[in-house]
Amino acid sequence: MTAARLEVRELTVAFGGLRALDAVNLTVEPGSVLGILGPNGSGKTTFLDTVSGQLRPTAGSVVLDDVDLIDYFPEDRAALGMVRSFQDCRLFPELTVFETLMVAEDARRPVGALASTLRLPAARRTEARHRQTVEGLIAAFGLEGFAERRIDQLSTGTRRVVDLAAIVAARPRLLLLDEPTAGIAQREAEALGPLLRSVHAETGTTVLLVEHDVPLTTSLCDRLVVMEAGRVVSAGPTAEVLADPAAIEAYLGASDEALARSGGGSTAPGRAPRRPAARRPAQRRPAR
């Protein structure tokens, strides 16, 4: 499956008089990795919810390879190769890692209920192929020591790796990642960057990454978008956005903690160390 092209045109989401997204325009070219940064309440997750079909926009369009998805349900978009992760890793807690990935593989290439029940030769051959694929995924993602562990026995970081493996099993053409480092330990966040780079190199899929971790995002992404209060305030190649005063004012200059999240205390690429900025008064922002 070839990588997909995503184009968002004048995308608007309003809740009464509050605009969570305000005429957002954005294009993600096939095979590229685009990162979206912004403070809490900037509209990042609302944007992913709308693109993936979880939320219907008030106005605008979401176009995947010249197909307008405005009337497509999430499962219809998934059938076209749009696959999305969630911050809370929506996996079955009682299943093992191996069983979880088997479910993902079975969902991609289902076997008829009658053939499976009767254990017909075709069903047995298909199951053998599924097991071989899952064993390959477990090896590729370094999960050999966790294959027989239940999901509810894993750390948050390991659950995210399992979730990512299940997503790759779906053969995405467009991968939407919603804050994959949220809630995981520093060491696990540092290990996630190389893993995501490996996934992109192996699959060639188009990736849209929403993150708070600036070093991780800048190391992975060809282009960046910075959002604030539902609007795009800066967009372009990574180096240009990092130097854009509008991006610095909206987010990049607001948090030393964000700049050092997974970078081992270093500043983001292309930025010189700076003195701590004065803390700005807290503002109430729209919910994501």
- Residue 265 is predicted with a pLDDT of 44
- Point out the residues of the chain with pLDDT beneath 70: 1, 87-89, 107-124, 254-288
pLDDT of residue 131: 83
Residues with Cβ within 8 Å of residue 63, at least 6 apart in sequence: 6, 7, 8, 9, 69
> Do 53 and 265 meet the contact criterion of CB atoms below 8 Å apart?
no
- At 96 the pLDDT is 92
Q: How much is the pLDDT for 107? A: 66
Q: Where are the domains of the chain?
A: 1-81+171-265, 92-170
**Res 112: pLDDT:** 55
Longest dimension (CA), the chain: 69
Each residue's pLDDT tens digit, 276-286: 333 344 444 44
Strands 231-237 and 223-228: antiparallel
- Check residue 282 and give its pLDDT: 41
- Is domain 1-81+171-265 classified as CATH 3.40.50.300? yes
